[in-house]
Amino acid sequence: AQSVTQLGSHVSVSEGALVLLRCNYSSSVPPYLFWYVQYPNQGLQLLLKYTTGATLVKGINGFEAEFKKSETSFHLTKPSAHMSDAAEYFCAVSDPETGNTPLVFGKGTRLSVIA
Amino acid sequence: NAGVTQTPKFQVLKTGQSMTLQCAQDMNHEYMSWYRQDPGMGLRLIHYSVGAGITDQGEVPNGYNVSRSTTEDFPLRLLSAAPSQTSVYFCASSYSYTSKEQYFGPGTRLTVT
């Protein structure tokens, strides 16, 4: 069974600083990986996803993530934080070979951006 | 497209009451699912459906029922509400169960007293 671990339930950065949100997964097969963002009182919105191919994936709002199989990681980064990036971020994993297996989500990381 | 819609947005129930949370999507998606979100717990899957007439249990199905009579609708029924079911409920859909990329509704905030 797959699982996702997000290191740090709360991350705080200064405006303009690097954003790094960590995600490690366990899976017996190369997984599909996702990052979702949730703004206050809203549903989840897809930021980016990795399925196959290039391991560096670019998403919306300047975010990107790199799939590192050797490290079983899929960390989310953004070079320069903006106040509007304050939100909760969820990493999710799925097994592409098991059709009915739904997404498994991490517990989330709340990002605060300090002016 | 309206995407995934959920009603109501807020609901307060007394212990033992029943109710149905509505979810609809207009994207002709095969796959629909219900999650609950609790502080520090992330999203936990309650039930899911891979197509009309087919449903299955997720991680936390107890106390909830679902049915999928049409492609568009996937209601979640609370049979006898308990305070432990106080949560934010999200419905999601995707084109197919293999695509995995899910689109989420805005959520229903439920309080059981």
pLDDT tens, position by position, A63-90: 999 999 999 999 999 999 999 999 999 9
Say if residue A2's pLDDT is above 80: no
**pLDDT class for A101, splitting at 50, 70, 90?**
low
Contacts of B40 in chain A (CB under 8 A): 9, 107
**Does B40 touch chain A if contact means CB atoms closer than 8 Å?**
yes
Q: From the CA of B43, how many Å to the nearest CA of chain A? A: 6
Q: Identify the residue with better confidence: B95 or A36.
A: A36
Structure tokens at B110: 């439920």
CA gap B48, B34 in Å, rounded: 6
What percent of chain A lies above the pLDDT cut of 70? 95
Q: What is the pLDDT of residue B99?
A: 63
Question: Tens-digit pLDDT profile for chain B (113 aa)?
Answer: 789 999 999 999 999 999 999 999 999 999 999 999 998 888 999 999 989 999 999 889 999 999 999 999 999 999 999 999 999 999 999 887 666 688 999 999 999 99
Per-residue pLDDT tens digits for B90-100 = 999 988 766 66
Residue A39: name the closest of A78, A83, A88, A82 by CA. A88
Residue A17: its pLDDT value, please?
A: 98
User: What is residue A96's predicted lDDT score, i.e. its pLDDT?
Assistant: 65
For residue B88, give the nearest of B113, B111, B62 by alpha carbon: B111
Size of interface A-B (CB pairs under 8 A): 53
CA distance B105 to B2: 10
Expressed in angstroms, the distance from the first to the final Cα of chain A is 41
pLDDT at A54 over 80: yes
Cα–Cα distances in angstroms (integers) from residue B107 to residues A51, A87, B70, B110, in the given order: 27, 16, 21, 10
Top residue of A10, A95, A100 to mutate, by most chain B CBs within 10 Å, is A100
pLDDT at B9: 95
Mean pLDDT of chain A, nearest integer: 91
> What is the pLDDT, as a whole number, of residue B49?
93
Contacts of residue A29 in chain B, CB cutoff 8 Å?
none
Residue of B nearest to A6 (CA): B42
Average pLDDT in chain B: 93
CB contact under 8 A, A9 and B40: yes
Amino acid B98: pLDDT: 64
What does the pLDDT read at residue A73?
95
